[in-house]
Amino acid sequence: MVESPTSPRGQFGREFLSDLTNRLDGPAFLSRYLKVEKSGDRHRALCPFHKDSKPSMYIRDDGSFYCFGCHKKGSIFNFLMEQNGVNFPDAVKEVAQYLGVPVPERRGSGGPTKEQLALFDVLQKSALFFKRHLERAGSNTAIKQYLKSRGIDRAVIEKYQIGFAPNSWSNLKDHFADTDVRTLIDADVLVENRERNSIYDRYRNRLMFPIRNRQGNVVGFGGRTLDDDVEPKYLNTKQTKVFSKGRELYGLFEALNIARRPDKLLLVEGYMDVVALSQHGIPYAVAALGTASNDMHFRTMFWFTNEVICCFDGDDAGRTAAKRALESALAALTDEKTVKFMFLPEGEDPDSFVRAEGTATFEDAINNAQHVADYFVDSLLETKDRTFSSIEQKARFVDRAKSLIQGIKHDSFRTILAQEVARCFPNEVNMDQLLALNPIDQEPAEPQPFDGDFDEPVVEPENTAARSERYYSEINTRRRVSQLLCAPAIWVNLRDHRALLHQLVDVAQNDPLTRLWQAIDHHGFTDISGLISSFQDDTWFARYLADIYDATSENNMSNPQDTLDQFLNGVETFLTAKQRDVERQVQLELLSQSDHDDATQSQ
Asked whether residue 303 is assigned to any structural domain, the reply reads: yes
pLDDT at 209: 98
**Mean pLDDT, to the nearest integer, of 243-263?**
89
In tens, the pLDDT along 550-599 reads 554 554 555 777 788 778 877 887 777 776 666 666 565 555 555 555 55
Mean pLDDT of 476-488: 76
> 199 pairs with which residues across the strands?
192
- % of residues, the chain, pLDDT over 70: 78
Is residue 450's pLDDT more than 50? no
Q: Which residues partner with 287 through β-bridges?
A: 250, 268
Q: Give the pLDDT band (50/70/90) at residue 462.
A: very low
Judgement on whether residues 264 and 374 belong to the same structural domain of the protein: yes
Residue 349 zone, left/alpha/beta (φ > 0; ψ -120 to 50; rest): beta
Quick: pLDDT tens for 315-351: 888 888 898 899 889 888 876 788 999 999 988 999 9
504 and 560, same domain (yes or no): yes
Query: How many other C-beta atoms lie within 10 A of the C-beta of residue 266?
Result: 29
DSSP-derived letter for residue 315 is S
277 shares a domain with 225: no
Q: Is the pLDDT of residue 466 over 50?
A: no
Does residue 269 sit within a domain? yes
β strands within 24-172, DSSP E: 37-39, 42-45, 57-59, 65-67, 73-74, 163-165
8 Å CB contact between 246 and 296: yes
Give the pLDDT mean for 305-319: 90
Q: Residue 78: which CATH number?
A: 3.90.580.10
Q: What is the mean pLDDT of residues 272-277?
A: 96
What lies within 8 Å, CB to CB, of 90 at 6+ separation is: 80
The count of domains in the chain is 5
Of the chain, the percentage scoring pLDDT greater than 90 comes to: 35
Q: Is residue 595 part of a domain?
A: no
pLDDT of residue 463: 43
Domain end call among 99, 128, 149:
99
Residues 80 and 163 in one domain: no
Q: For position 342, what pLDDT does the model report?
A: 96
Lowest mean pLDDT among 71-80, 384-393, 395-404: 384-393
* Same structural domain, 178 and 221: yes
φ and ψ of 201, to 5 deg: -65, 135
Last residue in a domain, options 205, 236, 267: 236
Residues 218 and 256 in one domain: no
Mean pLDDT across the chain: 80
* pLDDT tens track for 12-43: 777 888 889 988 989 989 988 898 998 877 89
- Residue 399, domain member (yes or no): yes
Claim to verify: residue 403 and residue 476 sit in the same structural domain: no
Q: Are residues 56 and 94 in the same domain?
A: yes
Percentages helix, strand, coil for the chain, rounded to the nearest 5?
50, 10, 40
How far is Cα 365 from Cα 349, in angstroms, rounded to an integer? 13
In the 3-class helix/strand/coil scheme, how is 255-303 assigned residue by residue? HHHHCCCCCCEEEECCHHHHHHHHHCCCCCEEECCCCCCCHHHHHHHHH
Contact 63, 24 (CB under 8 A): yes
Q: Is residue 6 part of a domain?
A: no
Phi then psi for 88, rounded to 5 degrees?
-60, -50
Q: Is the pLDDT assigned to residue 470 strictly greater than 80?
A: no
So what's the pLDDT on residue 278? 97
Q: Average pLDDT for residues 516-539, to the nearest whole number?
A: 74
> Could you tell me if 357 and 386 lie in one domain?
no
Statement to judge: residues 348 and 266 lie in one domain: yes
pLDDT at 454: 30
Residue pLDDT, tens place only, 51-98:
788 888 999 999 999 888 878 888 999 898 877 767 788 888 889 888
- Cα–Cα distance measured from residue 337 to residue 328, given in angstroms and rounded to the nearest whole number: 14
Query: 276 and 369 share a domain?
Result: yes
Q: Once rounded to an integer, what is the mean pLDDT over residues 273-280? A: 97
Asked, for residue 508, whether it belongs to a domain, the answer is yes
Query: Is 591 a domain residue?
Result: no
Query: Is there a single domain that holds both residue 289 and residue 374?
Result: yes
pLDDT digits (tens, 9 = 90+) for 125-177: 999 999 999 999 999 999 999 999 999 999 999 999 999 999 999 999 999 99
Using an 8 Å Cβ cutoff, are 274 and 285 in contact?
yes
Parent domain of 522: 465-584
Looking at 378, 396, 427, which one is the last position of a domain? 378
Q: What is the band of 272 on the pLDDT scale with cuts at 50, 70, 90?
A: very high
Would you state the pLDDT for residue 113? 82
Task: Give the list of residues 6+ apart from residue 315 with CB closer than 8 angstroms, or none.
Answer: 346, 347
pLDDT higher than 50, residue 439: no
Q: Give the Å distances, CA to CA, from 566 to 29, 225, 372, 571, 576.
A: 23, 43, 34, 9, 15
CA distance 75 to 59: 10
State the first-to-last Cα distance of the chain, in angstroms, to the nearest integer.
69
Structural domain includes residue 431: yes
Helix axes 76-84, 560-602, angle to 10 degrees: 70
- The pLDDT of residue 171 is 96
Cα–Cα distance measured from residue 258 to residue 260, given in angstroms and rounded to the nearest whole number: 7
Closest CA to 442 of 577, 583, 591, 576: 591
pLDDT score recorded for residue 537: 63
